[in-house]
């Protein structure tokens, strides 16, 4: 592709700005065509890591042409993708949730057989199993992870000892982690005669949040399994198996 001429001009502030011929916001284009969510993209632009037609850009919301403009992130050309892929994986224990690992541990991408460059939506610990979504659609990932959309995620938790009602209510109401209170959660006992196994439903996803919430009261999490992500479950999938999401399943998220 040749560089588009006369596509930029100086704004009154002296910064580079681009005409509205592309009809795509820079941050949206990058989120849709990279492994990063919109908020992370905004940070990268402000850090001076993005160029358009070889011009440094510091405004995430400028309009660009995703086909004609030369958009680069850390010097790498970002091209518009035509095929969006959405995968539901029953993550097994022993795999890390990342695209690569410097310690050469097994990643969830070692399980997926595809030529598409996918990335996980959120993370599950190496010792946590259950629902994990992977995609190449950054905008879709951003919507599912953003707290504003309050996508519910349910985990089955096997505890080292029975959970008493007083602590259950405290955890459900929210506790402070890293100086910030957690959002209200739903916590119910899976079996009415077993108080060491609970289901907890969250609408946020802080680092190791479930384990840390229970560890705050001296509980050790023996086993952790994410049983659902929004309306999706791993029913019918054995650990390590995966499938593509249906159009209907995708639309239930995007039409909210």
Query: CA-CA distance, 97 to 88, in Å (whole number)?
Result: 13
Looking at 123-246, list the stretches that DSSP marks H as alpha helix, in order from N- to C-terminal side.
138-145, 165-173, 209-215
Nearest Cα residue to 184 out of 199, 171, 166, 167 = 171
What is the spatial distance between Cα 22 and Cα 34, in angstroms, rounded to a whole number?
18
Residue in this structure with the two tokens 């042409």, named with its chain if needed: 65
Active site residue 74: no
Q: Give alpha helix (H) positions in the chain.
A: 26-32, 38-46, 138-145, 165-173, 209-215, 247-254
What gap in Å lies between CA 2 and CA 62, rounded to an integer?
A: 20
Q: Which residues pair with 153 in a beta bridge?
A: 202, 229
* 129/121 Cα distance (integer angstroms): 15
Q: Which of 65, 125, 127, 137 is catalytic?
A: 125
Calculate Rg over the CA atoms of the chain. Answer: 21
- CA distance linking residue 242 with residue 109, whole number of Å: 11
Residues 17 and 118: their CA atoms lie apart, in Å, by 31
**Catalytic center residues:** 125
């Amino acid at each position: 592709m040749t560089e588009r001429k006369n596509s930029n001009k100086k704004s009154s502030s002296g910064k580079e700005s681009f005409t509205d011929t592309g009809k795509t916001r820079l941050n949206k284009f990058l989120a849709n065509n990279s492994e990063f969510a919109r908020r992370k993209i905004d940070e990268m632009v402000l850090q001076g890591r993005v160029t358009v037609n070889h011009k440094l850009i510091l405004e995430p919301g400028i309009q660009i042409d995703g086909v004609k403009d030369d958009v680069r992130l850390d010097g790498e050309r970002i091209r518009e993708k035509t095929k969006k892929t959405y995968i539901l994986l029953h993550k097994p224990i022993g795999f890390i949730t990342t695209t690569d690992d410097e310690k050469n541990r097994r990643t969830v991408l070692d399980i997926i057989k595809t030529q598409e460059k996918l990335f996980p939506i959120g993370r599950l610990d190496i010792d946590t199993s259950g629902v994990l979504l992977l995609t190449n659609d950054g905008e879709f990932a951003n919507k599912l992870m953003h707290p504003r959309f309050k996508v519910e995620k349910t985990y089955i938790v096997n505890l080292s000892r029975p959970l008493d009602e007083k602590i259950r209510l405290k955890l459900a109401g929210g506790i402070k982690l890293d100086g910030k209170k957690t959002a209200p959660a739903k916590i119910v006992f899976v079996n009415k005669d077993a108080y060491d196994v609970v289901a907890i439903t969250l609408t946020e996803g802080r680092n190791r949040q479930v384990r840390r919430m229970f560890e705050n009261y001296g509980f050790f999490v023996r086993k952790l399994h994410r049983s659902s992500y929004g309306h999706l479950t791993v029913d019918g999938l054995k650990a390590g198996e995966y499938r593509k999401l249906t159009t209907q399943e995708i639309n239930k998220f995007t039409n909210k």
